[in-house]
A and B are shown apart, each in its own frame.
With several copies, the nearest count.
Chain A
Amino acid sequence: MPVRDLLAGRRRGGVPADLWATCRKCGAMHYRPEFEAGLHVCTRCDYHDRLTVGQRLDLLLDDAGSFQELAGDVLTSDPLNFSRPSGRYPDRVAKAQESTGRSEAVVCGVGHIQGHEVAVGVMEFGFIAGSMGGAAGERIARLFELAHERRIPLVMVTSSGGARQDEGVFALMQMAKTTAAAARLADAGVPYIALMADPTLAGVTASFAAVADVIIGEPGATIRFAGSRVVQGTLSRRAQADDHTAEWVLRRGMIDAVVPRRDQRRTIGRLIELLAPARASRRAEIGDTARTRLG
């Protein structure tokens, strides 16, 4: 490990923090190179740790390098002139942009999974808790519309605390907007697969994520309607640590499967193969048109 990394690492009890990864779920310590080689999965409790958009694209796409971003210049505005103790909203956005290297809490675009051209959206929890405001909602809606126009399957990886409070009802309405866009895609017979990663909460669970044709959960991911602070508050009486995991919602019939990270690309690829509407023949009609239009 280079000295500058050691110095950069925050230290805990004398251990260079960056050299060790602590499981968010069970607290187990993992030697970081091994943890990363194991796709950020806890070997003790099987919790699948949060990934950055970059890590996720690497894992999901055949070739993350050829991913083409859509609507990357759609950025947040500050409709309510919102301010929190932790800072003005635009400053918080700027800080999130800086720390994540992403311009919003969701990155959308086109890539390939197991050889299939796919519309892909990945949420970045590191960006203001992956919250959905107007810009994120706009990007997601455009992604659904792109998949619709080009008749290519859509894959969304969700990780979000819900609607972004700082945009008030503007953020709330993104639930309706993205859900309506997803519903139109379903009517068009184009498959949409959601991969719910840790955590998928509130306004994201209860909108475009829940209406996917097939929903896959990541092991250990928290999936819930109530936001985390709401649950810590007075409203829910008996929520427990093990409630609301992917495994829990699977038992309750809400998702189709819990799939470990190492198998996700293959499983999603297979689902696309099985659900995509007669690709071979349609490609000639629609795919080519889209490609022509796209240059």
Chain B
Amino acid sequence: MLDFERDLDELRSRIAELEAESDLDSASDVLRQLELMQLELEARTADVFSRLTPWQRVQLARHRDRPHTLDFIERMIDGFVELHGDRRHGDDMAVVGGVGSLQGRRVVIVGHQKGRGTRQNVERNFGMAHPEGYRKAIRLFQLAARFGLPVITLLDTPGAGPALEDEERGQSWAIAESMAVLARLETPIVVAVIGEGGSGGALAMGVGDRILMLEHAIYSVASPEAAAAIIWRDSKFAERAAEALGLTSEVLYAADLIDRIVPEPPGGAHRDYDATAESLTAALVEALDELQAIPPTELVTERYAKFRAMSAHVESSPDEVVVDGSGVVPEDRHGL
């Protein structure tokens, strides 16, 4: 229960109590009261959620009840067959993936997987993938391309595992290879940030043709704690870092770094898994259907252009990059 949810939850409890006490034969004024309280709850939820600070968004994105990848797969994917392992070292439980169908469309779906409770969290390494997790993902991406299936990735990780054993097995190499594979994969790729889009560990599976983001998900160059440690040399400044980093869906949409914000039900995704999954399904299906019409090689070209354009830089004298006396960067690429 987050701070800003407490107030709403008290109202919710009172409604529940009143509902429990009353029955179908209750006086109509009781029923009217209930109805009013419902309306108030809705209004107050809308109000609270319209004024959430970035730090509160971080807390929502990390909410322990927030739906995780397998919760979405369960609701969105028919006939899912989970495929395990990287064929090299291990089966990372922090990354799950497999094949199934989304509203009749055959897909490969891969996502970070967080746990709930201590045992699960240890098993899933808190959703922090090991190198073998990314290598499993790479294998599934390549499988998808081989059989002409589109890829869906769900991003939800605090970041890639930073432990010594992750370094030993080449965490950097696994992440970079995953991006390199996705960049050239000749099949449609739809990315959805569903919770925490934590740094390179998230981006490793985040190179695609459409980048969706659940309303209260976050996407960040570093966790607010890590950024605070880097910038203020104290992770207690996480709240301030969250404000500075521009990690909310609205900021990223305005900056053209994501393509679409997927609305969550009132009170956040954790209040209604089914409604959230339905909302995400609709967005995924729309994206997939758009992409399915584009030839794979063209997809790859457009995907490159898409990421190529992601920047914020200025040129002191645009269109005049001087090498050997004349411009080497064609003019038509400046727009990217």
Which residues on A are within 8 Å of B, measured CB to CB?
68-80, 82-85, 109-110, 133-135, 137-138, 141-142, 145-146, 149, 163, 165, 167-177, 179-184, 186-187, 189, 191, 202-203, 205-211, 213-214, 224-227, 229-233, 235-239, 243-244, 249-257, 267, 270-271, 273-278, 291, 293-295
Do B81 and A274 touch across chains, with their CB atoms under 8 A apart? yes
Do B324 and A257 touch across chains, with their CB atoms under 8 A apart? no
B214 within 8 A of A: no
Q: For A237, what are the chain B residues with a Cβ–Cβ distance below 8 Å?
A: 163-164
Do A79 and B146 touch across chains, with their CB atoms under 8 A apart? no
Q: For B277, what are the chain A residues with a Cβ–Cβ distance below 8 Å?
A: none
B188 within 8 A of A: no
Name the residue of chain A whose CB is nearest to the CB of B202: A172
B51 within 8 A of A: no
Q: For A110, what are the chain B residues with a Cβ–Cβ distance below 8 Å?
A: 323-324
Q: For A213, what are the chain B residues with a Cβ–Cβ distance below 8 Å?
A: 143, 146-147
How many Å lie between the Cα of A295 and that of B247 in the bound state? 45
Question: Contacts A235-B163, A273-B79; is A74 near B85 (CB within 8 Å)?
Answer: no
B20 within 8 A of A: no
Question: Contacts A165-B230, A170-B255, A225-B171; is A253 near B81 (CB within 8 Å)?
Answer: no
Q: For A170, what are the chain B residues with a Cβ–Cβ distance below 8 Å?
A: 255, 257, 310-312
How many Å lie between the Cα of A266 and that of B199 in the bound state? 37
Do A229 and B229 touch across chains, with their CB atoms under 8 A apart? yes
| Shortest Cβ-Cβ A-B pairs, 7 listed | A253-B85, A79-B312, A210-B176, A180-B183, A206-B172, A226-B162, A205-B172
Do A189 and B79 touch across chains, with their CB atoms under 8 A apart? no
How many Å lie between the Cα of A226 and that of B184 in the bound state? 26
B166 within 8 A of A: yes
A-B contact pairs, 23 of them (CB 8 A): A68-B322, A68-B323, A70-B323, A76-B314, A82-B244, A165-B245, A168-B245, A169-B220, A170-B310, A172-B221, A176-B183, A177-B311, A187-B184, A202-B172, A205-B176, A211-B180, A252-B90, A254-B173, A267-B81, A271-B81, A274-B99, A275-B106, A275-B147
Which residues on B are within 8 Å of A, measured CB to CB?
79, 81-92, 99-101, 106, 132, 136, 143, 146-149, 160, 162-164, 166-173, 175-177, 179-180, 183-184, 199-200, 203-204, 206-207, 219-222, 226-227, 229-233, 235, 244-247, 252, 255, 257, 303-304, 307-308, 310-317, 320-326, 328-329, 333
Q: For A225, what are the chain B residues with a Cβ–Cβ distance below 8 Å?
A: 160, 162, 166-167, 171-172, 175, 200
Name the residue of chain B whose CB is nearest to the CB of A259: B81
Kindly identify which residue among A138, A226, A291 contacts B167, using a CB–CB cutoff of 8 Å: A226
Given contacts A168-B220, A176-B206, A180-B303, 9 further A-B contacts (CB under 8 A): A73-B315, A168-B221, A168-B245, A170-B310, A172-B220, A174-B311, A177-B307, A211-B177, A253-B136
Nearest Cβ on chain B to A257's Cβ, whole angstroms: 6
Do B84 and A253 touch across chains, with their CB atoms under 8 A apart? yes
Name the residue of chain A whose CB is nearest to the CB of B233: A229
Q: For B316, what are the chain A residues with a Cβ–Cβ distance below 8 Å?
A: 73, 75
Do A224 and B167 touch across chains, with their CB atoms under 8 A apart? yes
Question: Contacts A142-B321, A145-B329, A167-B221; is A252 near B85 (CB within 8 Å)?
Answer: yes
Question: Contacts A79-B255, A82-B244; is A171 near B167 (CB within 8 Å)?
Answer: no
How many Å lie between the Cα of A175 and that of B42 in the bound state? 41
